Amino acid sequence: MNQFNASRQPMQAQRPGTAPGSAEARKLAEDLMDAMNALLALIERETELVRAGKVREAMTLESKKQELSRNYVGAVSQLKANQAQLAKSAPELLSTLHRHHDAFRAMLQVNLTVLATAHAVSESVVRGVNAEIQKRNVPNTYTAAGRRAAPGPRHITPLAVSRSL
């Protein structure tokens, strides 16, 4: 059991009718901040690797990213379950969390943009290679009207991509 899950257990046993005290509110906020910071550090690393073209190395971060994402979702769930009480007992803490979360979302957007760009570029490269291969395999023939004949299905060669390289 990781440290985050161990620290969450006492809060799950809390009765829903009782408002968390200042110490519990701070613990919830710290858990969420820790989860966001850990996930953000990993996402920043992934973004750097993808920008540098080291996609294979970035892919090795996936299992850690999933674990940190689960921790983040758990911390957000805990905070949402106690949001009304936190708003009453520690409103400044809640506003600080909102600001930090906005910065977190902005960094996630940068990461998603980089990943989408890398996906689009790689798809474009594969399509370009496929178009070149197909051009070489299609016979240059013309119809009776003098137009270039469209290749038939037997002239199209499938493209195989190995992901293990």
Q: How many helices (H) and strands (E) does the chain have?
A: 6, 0
Q: Tens digit of pLDDT for each residue in 11-42? A: 333 334 444 567 787 888 888 999 999 999 99
Q: Tens digit of pLDDT for each residue in 48-85? A: 999 998 988 999 999 999 999 999 999 999 888 888 88
Q: What are phi and psi of 154, to 5 degrees?
A: -75, -15
pLDDT score at 45: 95
CA distance 34 to 100: 11
